[in-house]
Structure 1
Amino acid sequence: MNKYLFFFIFLVSFFKTQSQENRSFLYATVKDKIGPVINAHILNKNTKQGTFTNENGEFRILAKNNDSLQISFVGYETSIFNIEIKYFGIQKTIFELLKTNYELDEVNIKHNNLLGYLSADSKNIKTEKKINAKTLKLPYAGSRIMTPAERRLRTASGGFGIHPLLNWISGRTKRLKKLKMIEDLELKINQIKNTYHLQIIKELDINETDIYRFIYYCESDKNFTKAYNSSDINMIRFLKNKAESFKKLNPENYN
């Protein structure tokens, strides 16, 4: 059994090495019309290997002529670029992402006494008793439903036998962990956007078109997780402090 397992591992390593043959590191930068895009996801669709941009929007990835790079980021259109020989030259390669236009659904506004400020409105909001599986005390009520990325990762790495080992050797488990990290980040970003949208625009005076860039800028701060897991008041204070530095970095939009 050990002899066959060793032979299988050798074959996997051999084919993985062959797939990277004739590929070199491509160094490039991802930007939008304003500046670098941080934490953008880069995927070589030919090798299925990916990476992320750093704080300067820079990245490196193994590629060769005619490979296809997929670059994605929340709030931007996912773009696919065909790799050319010139991208490996001395001249700096820049890939530009375009903003996604979001259209809000029409809503009916009911009369209320809310002011639009979280610190004051949170005291005046009246909630109705919800009727759901948890309040009805049904079996397994309240259990958190796994996301698609969590289900795929659990299937690939859970249990016993040869399959978890094969997924680890082939790199599939590692790729699924990265996808889960991306999914977790997108969930946080959208939650911040949905919860504090009004405060970010009215109180912090951030442009509507800059909301996602601003939130991702906040997420890159080492204190973001602490503020995210804290109270609403602490989160608003954190966003307020970051808004001041964000505006200084973008003086052309915030005079």
Structure 2
Amino acid sequence: MSKILLLLLFFSFLNVHSQNGRKFIHGKISDKLGGLSNVHIINLNTKRGTYTNENGDFKIPVKLNDSLRFSFVGYETKLLKIIKKHFGIQNNNFSLNKTTYVLDEVDLNRNNLLGFLSADSKLIKKEKVINAETLKLPFAGERILTPAERRLQTARGGKNPALIGLLGGSISLDWIINSVSGRINKLKKLKDIEESEKNISYIKNTYETMIINELNISEDNLYRFIYFCEADMKFIRILNGGEIAMINFLKQKSKEFKKL
């Protein structure tokens, strides 16, 4: 028993020594309605802090001339210098005041509005929009091609390829060369793969929760199930048919998937 007592005394000594002679003071922080919970109290000298409980009570180690800061969202921050009376038996009671926010004055007559939309819309100054279309830059407003689409377009001779006469028609010289070499077919396959991965990512991001929780497809089988659905010849048509069509499609495919 004496050994246990010695250990307790030893740890108590370490704790007191670590506080550098500081003692705990007890306090309560309130506003006009009562105790404030979760007020942040920090000793600016030791950088140690705590929070008030649901009744506004707290305790924190301090010594003479330490400075405490009380802060809480929506209330004015308060600073306190520790003096002798704070070490008394009674609790230290502190109060915080709510912060008053003053909004900037709004001048309703600045634009001379009349209250009629048809008339006021002509009086309101509109900021000039600056973008590729207003600047009339080349290809402004066109859809941005994916990397695979750009490579395929380049292999075919670009957007406006140089054409040569061939059997009464016209075709790009680059198109002929890349078709013969097999590059066109290879890039078409890469474009199809890119499109497939985009569709799979969309299904995963949009319907993952439903697939796992409602269709009871395990998370380990999530991608396997989505690839199974994407392989269906009706997938693209269903994908373009809207959310309801896709949900019904996924429900039907889940039954087929589970049988497999």
Q: TM-score range by the shorter chain?
A: 0.3 to 0.5
- Greater Cα radius of gyration, structure 1 or 2: 2
Tell me the TM-score normalised to structure 2 length. 0.41
Instruction: Using CA pairs under 8 Å that are at least 6 residues apart, name the structure with larger relative contact order, 1 or 2.
Output: 1
Tell me the TM-score normalised to structure 1 length. 0.42
